[in-house]
Amino acid sequence: MKLSPEEHIRYSRQLSLPTVGTDGQIKLKQARVVCIGAGGLGSSALLYLAAAGVGTIGIMDPDTVDLSNLQRQVIYTQADVGHPKALMAQKRLLALNPTITVIAQTDALTVENALAVLAQYDMVIDATDNFKTRYLINDAAYHLKKPNISASIFQYEGQCSVFTAEEGPCYRCLFPSPPPDDLIPSCSMGGVLGVVCGLLGSIQAAEAIKIILNSGQALIGRLLTVDVRTLAFREFNLERREDCILCHHQQSFLSLPRYQENHCMQAKVVEEITARETAALREQGVNFLLLDVREQAEFDSANLGGKLIPLGQLPARLNELNPEQFIIVHCRSGGRSRCAVELLLEVGFAKVKNLKGGILAWHAELAEAYSDEQVF
């Protein structure tokens, strides 16, 4: 495979890099990368992969462009609203770089097609916004021994890592099992600053290019996080878990009967406590911490006087909690707090319970004893 005269001009700035050159550019031209999700993360990742000359790019997204997407999904224009994202993204990439091949799929990634889709490519970029697909990508990529470049964003923050079967941990080593549906607030609920998507999507593209060129140090065994409010980057070392059902027991979504039924693994059973039981402990003077994992705006609107650590910030703020202390976790209705309890138990906290029904149950069950003006 050779570069055409047009490609020599197009990629001249890359060709002058010592880690790229003609040989590296040919590697990029031969590479095949699929991006699952063409939203905020996918928009930036896809644009930079196409611009860099990745020869074959796959796009898989079943959604259509919505007006509210344009704030962060910069691959689309006003004229694309109402049209399939995968097809509109394909059109944009070919307009940017007609020398590449772009394969668009408007169906969703499922347990039935995951292996067949990912097998066509060298690596996968996980630019999805839901846990079901994220775990499916992880398991399929692990099975096929394909690098999985995964990122996620929420509000002002984002994180990225690279998961591989040959070295380093997989996504399950970081988060062993997915939470129930609708547990984590979506972008529409919690909000997101558009540039966070652009920043993390660009990092995903950079990781893909490094892996293709076999240059630099990929984020394997490392989790990179950023908060754009302070532009503080932090890096955490990740290791394989001895109890990982995938790395050590070779059990994945692809083989679990429950996943075949509803694409979601059974969430861990966590110990729950009712509002009345919690109130009784308070009256008895039992020493425990009430942990509120809602967002700041929710806390400001109504709270029970607990310690506020939003769920998205919890992994980075575990040092603020005592692993030996009795902790009761709550959110609005009990969903997010269940995920927080699972996380705390996974990292070794001794005694943690979930407030069943959250703050809604507290006010419903104890409205007479505790007015809205009183805090817990």
Q: Does one domain contain both 188 and 320?
A: no
- This prediction has a pTM of 0.68
With respect to residue 373, please indicate whether it lies within any of the assigned structural domains: no
Task: Quickly count: other Cβ atoms within 10 Å of residue 217's Cβ.
Answer: 7
Give the β-pairing of 222-227 and 157-163. Answer: antiparallel
With respect to residue 376, please indicate whether it lies within any of the assigned structural domains: no
With respect to residue 14, please indicate whether it lies within any of the assigned structural domains: no
Q: What is residue 263's predicted lDDT score, i.e. its pLDDT? A: 37
Q: Does one domain contain both 142 and 170?
A: yes
SS3 34: strand
> Which residues form the catalytic set?
187, 331
Mean pLDDT of 11-30: 95
Mean pLDDT of 72-95: 96
Q: What is the DSSP string of 48-72?
A: HHHHHT-SEEEEE---B--GGGGGT
Q: Does one domain contain both 166 and 280?
A: no
Give per-residue pLDDT as tens, 330-376: 998 887 888 788 888 878 888 999 999 899 888 888 765 554 444 44
For residue 292 the two structure tokens come to: 């509120």
How many domains, the chain?
2
Residue where a domain stops, chosen among 262, 284, 314: 262
Highest mean pLDDT among 183-187, 224-228, 308-312: 224-228
Residue where a domain stops, chosen among 202, 227, 262: 262
For residue 139 the two structure tokens come to: 């398991």
The answer to whether 102 and 93 have CB atoms below 8 angstroms apart is yes
Q: Does one domain contain both 298 and 359?
A: yes
- Which of these ranges, 84-93, 261-270, 305-314, has the smallest mean pLDDT? 261-270
Q: Does one domain contain both 157 and 206?
A: yes
Q: What is residue 269's predicted lDDT score, i.e. its pLDDT? A: 63
- Which of these ranges, 99-103, 166-170, 258-262, 343-347, has the smallest mean pLDDT? 258-262
Q: Does one domain contain both 218 and 291?
A: no
With respect to residue 7, please indicate whether it lies within any of the assigned structural domains: no
Q: What is residue 187's predicted lDDT score, i.e. its pLDDT? A: 55
With respect to residue 23, please indicate whether it lies within any of the assigned structural domains: no
Domain coverage including residue 55: 31-262
Give per-residue pLDDT as tens, 130-147: 888 898 999 999 989 999
Q: Which of 134, 142, 162, 177 is nearest to 235 (CA)?
A: 162
Which residue carries 């992994």 as its tokens? 315
Residue 314: pLDDT band with limits 50, 70, 90? confident
Q: What is residue 327's predicted lDDT score, i.e. its pLDDT? A: 96
With respect to residue 120, please indicate whether it lies within any of the assigned structural domains: yes
Q: Does one domain contain both 59 and 177?
A: yes
Q: Does one domain contain both 67 and 198?
A: yes
Cα dihedral across residues 242, 243, 245, 249: positive or negative: positive
Average model confidence (pLDDT) across the chain:
87
Provide the CATH number for the domain around residue 283.
Answer: 3.40.250.10
Q: Does one domain contain both 254 and 285?
A: no
With respect to residue 212, please indicate whether it lies within any of the assigned structural domains: yes
Q: What is the DSSP string of 137-162?
A: HHHHHHHHT--EEEEEEEBTEEEEEE
The answer to whether 323 and 350 have CB atoms below 8 angstroms apart is yes
DSSP state of 255: T
Q: Does one domain contain both 253 and 194?
A: yes
DSSP E strands in the chain: the ranges are 32-36, 56-60, 101-105, 123-126, 148-154, 157-163, 222-227, 232-237, 272-273, 289-292, 307-308, 326-330, 351-355
Q: Does one domain contain both 194 and 106?
A: yes
Q: Does one domain contain both 186 and 46?
A: yes
Residues 306-315: contacts with CB under 8 Å, at least 24 apart: 306/330, 306/376, 311/184, 311/336, 311/339, 311/340, 312/154, 312/155, 312/157, 312/184, 312/190, 313/157, 314/340, 314/343, 315/343
Comparing 373 with 108, the larger pLDDT belongs to: 108
Comparing 1 with 158, the larger pLDDT belongs to: 158
The answer to whether 239 and 173 have CB atoms below 8 angstroms apart is yes
Residue where a domain stops, chosen among 262, 284, 310: 262
% the chain with pLDDT above 70: 88
- Which of these ranges, 195-209, 240-254, 261-275, has the smallest mean pLDDT? 261-275
SS3 329: strand
Provide the CATH number for the domain around residue 167.
Answer: 3.40.50.720
With respect to residue 161, please indicate whether it lies within any of the assigned structural domains: yes
Residue 91, amino acid? K
